[in-house]
Structure formats: C-alpha cells, structure tokens
Amino acid sequence: MVDLLDGKKAAQLADQEFSQRINDLKLMGITPGLAVILIGNDSASQVYVRNKKRRAQKVGINYQLFHLAENITQTAVLQLINKLNHDPEIDGIMVQMPVPPQIDAAKVMNAIAVDKDVDGFSFDNIGRLWSNNSGNFPATPRGIIRLLQQYEISVAQKHVVVVGRSNIVGRPMAGLLLNADATVTMAHSKTPNLAALTKQADILIVAIGQAEFITADYVKPQSVVIDVGMNHDVTGKLVGDVDFSSVSQVASMLTPVPGGVGPMTITGLLEQVIILAEKRA
Ligand SMILES: NC(=O)C1=CN([C@@H]2O[C@H](COP(=O)(O)OP(=O)(O)OC[C@H]3O[C@@H](n4cnc5c(N)ncnc54)[C@H](OP(=O)(O)O)[C@@H]3O)[C@@H](O)[C@H]2O)C=CC1
Ligand SMILES: Nc1nc(=O)c2c([nH]1)NC[C@@H]1CN(c3ccc(C(=O)N[C@@H](CCC(=O)O)C(=O)O)cc3)C=[N+]21
C-alpha cells in the first residue's frame, strides 16, 4: 500500500509554526508584508492567488494584491514595482506567472529589489542558488523540500530524478537538491528513453504539465514520487502529471493532486516572506 505525502496536513503544521514566528515579530512592531502582482484574468492564477491570500492572512501576513488589467503596459508594471521596492512595509514582491505577451517576464522579475524578490526568480538569486549561497529561492521547490523533511525523507545519498527544466520548478528544484547532497539527474522533453532513467530514481519529482503522463512503468518499486503537475483531464477534473492509480501500486510514497505540492508551494512562499521580515528585526 502506498502512503500519501499529505501536503495539506504538512501545510497546516507549517502554518502553526508561522503564526508563532509572526506573533514574535509583531511584539517587535514588525508585520511581514507580501505584495502579489496579478496581471490579467488567467483562471488558474486567480485560484492560486486566492489560496495565497487566505493562507497569508491566516498566519498574520499583511497581504496586498495588485490586480492589473490584461492590457497594462510594461512601464506601468515597472513603476509599481519601483514603488513597492521603496515601501518599508513590504518584505516580498511577486509577479504571478504567466504574464501577458506585452510584458517581458525576465525584465519585470529583475526589476524587483533582490532582497524583496520573494520568488527568487531574479538572475541574482538564481546565481546564489547555484553557487550554494544564501538567497531567496522559489516557492515550489522550497515547499517540496519541506514536505520531504516533514516525512523524514532524506535526500542525501539518494538518486533524485527531476523531470521538467522550467525556471520556476525543475531547475531550482535540482539546485536545492544538489545543495542538500542529493545526486540529481534532470530530464526533459528531449531526454531519450525517459522511463529507463526515471526507473532508477529513489525519489522522482515530476513537473511537466502533461496530465497523468507518468505511469507505473516509469517508477522504481518502493520509491518516493512527487507530483507537481496541475492539469485538467478531459472531464475537467484537476489531475497531476502522475497517473495516481497505477503509480500507487508501485511507489512507497506519493503526493496526491490536489492536496500535495500545491499547498506546500504556498508554504514555501509564506516561509520566504517571514524569513525576509525576520531580517528587519
Ligand atoms: N503545484 C504547484 O505548486 C505548481 C504546479 N505547477 C504545474 O507543474 C507543471 C509544470 O509546470 P512548469 O514547470 O511551469 O512547466 P513548463 O511548461 O514551464 O515546463 C515543462 C517542462 O517539462 C518538460 N516536458 C514536457 N513534456 C515532457 C515529456 N513528455 N517528457 C519529459 N519532459 C517533458 C519540458 O521540456 P522542454 O524544456 O524540453 O520543453 C519542460 O522542461 C504544470 O502542470 C504546472 O501547472 C507549476 C508550478 C507550481
Ligand atoms: N510568480 C509565481 N510564483 C509561483 O509560485 C507560481 C506562479 N507564479 N504561477 C503559477 C504557479 C502555480 N502555483 C500554485 C499555487 C498554489 C496551488 C494550490 O493552492 N493548489 C491546491 C488547490 C488547487 C485547485 O483547487 O485548483 C492543491 O493542489 O491542493 C497550486 C499552484 C504557484 N505558482
């Protein structure tokens, strides 16, 4: 029988810790501030942003949403970021991805002050991650590391295969794992014979955006499988990148979708905001 890696439960535990840390900050007159910039009306983004707001407010973060029109100019976005960069009440700034085509995502991300770049998407923070220096690191990989810790699954001495090489999940995931002494292999759409590789993974992390793509024949018996995917199947149901029913027959531990990596992504974000606010103390 497979054991679930319950992200919802782990996130609730983390929220208790965060509430305590924020209470301590408030005694010093500090309230952690998070600014979320949402551009346009992407329906998935609206769900995520709503979840972030609920969780941030629950633990006592000052959450500010800036919802900008789909046709906003790049100049206006940069002006807002500049204002937030200078706002002493704001510890972290993030721009929800994806952004509309007139917005240059790299430019916007690098306009955020390095210390307030709570997503860790700026070139400076990417360099800090890959040189194993301290910095701000992306929410999803942070949340996954925390989920594994919560279940006392060590990555050191393990072979971890990460499928997907995006800037927001796959690449930073590999960097954090490497820094935690895992042996890491990265795979992507051009990787030949993917199943032969993923079958060697003690821990398999999948972030490809292909509904239920990873079936039991990609998975080593008794391994740990982390499903980052958020897709809708033909019936409109939310499903991961992993075929839950077949993989649960071979893996020892597996994240569900929903209730797995999603809630832990928000945990990763809130934790990074709190760390930044603690630097003000
Ligand atoms: N739970 C959460 O908190 C989050 C969930 N997500 C979800 O995770 C998934 C991935 O997101 P994201 O990282 O942004 O994805 P991207 O679409 O940016 O990147 C997908 C990556 O997967 C690779 N890929 C695609 N198809 C295959 C395949 N058949 N075999 C092997 N590799 C493949 C691509 O390869 P190549 O580079 O060669 O094109 C690419 O590197 C999505 O479902 C997304 O919704 C994303 C962020 C957070
Ligand atoms: N700059 C930026 N930073 C991000 O961290 C970022 C982003 N852009 N763009 C999109 C992805 C995706 N993401 C999620 C957040 C919450 C859930 C989440 O709450 N999921 C719940 C419910 C999902 C649902 O009901 O649809 C769950 O899995 O249980 C999922 C995914 C953050 N991302």
- Going along the chain from its start, the domains and CATH numbers come out as 28-113 (3.40.50.10860), 139-261 (3.40.50.720)
Residue 1: per-residue pLDDT: 82
For every residue of 182-206, DSSP letters joined together read: -EEEEE-TT-TTHHHHHTT-SEEEE
Q: Is 265 in the pocket of ligand 1 (CB under 6 A)?
A: yes
Give the 3-state secondary structure of 258-271: CCCHHHHHHHHHHH
Ligand 2: centre distance to CA 8 (Å) = 13
> Nearest bound ligand to CA 265?
1
State ipTM.
0.97
CA of 174: how far to CAs of 19, 145, 158, in Å?
Answer: 30, 11, 13
217 is catalytic: no
Q: Is 258 in the pocket of ligand 2 (CB under 6 A)?
A: yes
Residue 177: per-residue pLDDT: 98
117 is catalytic: no
243 is catalytic: no
Considering 96, 117, 150, 220, which one is annotated as catalytic? 96
Considering 52, 116, 158, 220, which one is annotated as catalytic? 52
Beta-carbon count within 10 A of 35 CB = 26
Residue 158: per-residue pLDDT: 98
- Check whether 223 is labelled as a binding-site residue: no
- Check whether 164 is labelled as a binding-site residue: yes
Residue 240: per-residue pLDDT: 98
| Helix, strand and coil in the chain, % to nearest 5 | 45, 15, 40
pLDDT 10s per residue in the chain (281 long)? 899 999 999 999 999 999 999 999 999 999 999 999 999 999 999 999 999 999 999 999 999 999 999 999 999 999 999 999 999 999 999 999 999 999 999 999 999 999 999 999 999 999 999 999 999 999 999 999 999 999 999 999 999 999 999 999 999 999 999 999 999 999 999 999 999 999 999 999 999 999 999 999 999 999 999 999 999 999 999 999 999 999 999 999 999 999 999 999 999 999 999 999 999 98
Q: Is 206 in the pocket of ligand 1 (CB under 6 A)?
A: no
Q: Which of 232, 264, 265 to mutate to test the pocket of ligand 2 (most atoms within 8 A of CB)?
A: 265
| Separation of alpha carbons 251 and 246, rounded Å | 9
**In the block, which residue shows the tokens 């797995």?**
260
- Check whether 166 is labelled as a binding-site residue: yes
Considering 6, 119, 241, 243, which one is annotated as catalytic? 119
Q: Is 154 in the pocket of ligand 1 (CB under 6 A)?
A: no
Taking the whole predicted model, whether its pTM rises above 0.95 is answered as yes
Residue 232: per-residue pLDDT: 95
Ligand 2: centre distance to CA 47 (Å) = 8
Question: For the stretch 106-145, what's the b/e string if a residue is b when 16 or more beta carbons lie within 10 angstroms of its beta carbon?
Answer: eebbbbbeebbbbbbbbeebbebbeeeeebbbbbbbbbbb
Residue 93: per-residue pLDDT: 98
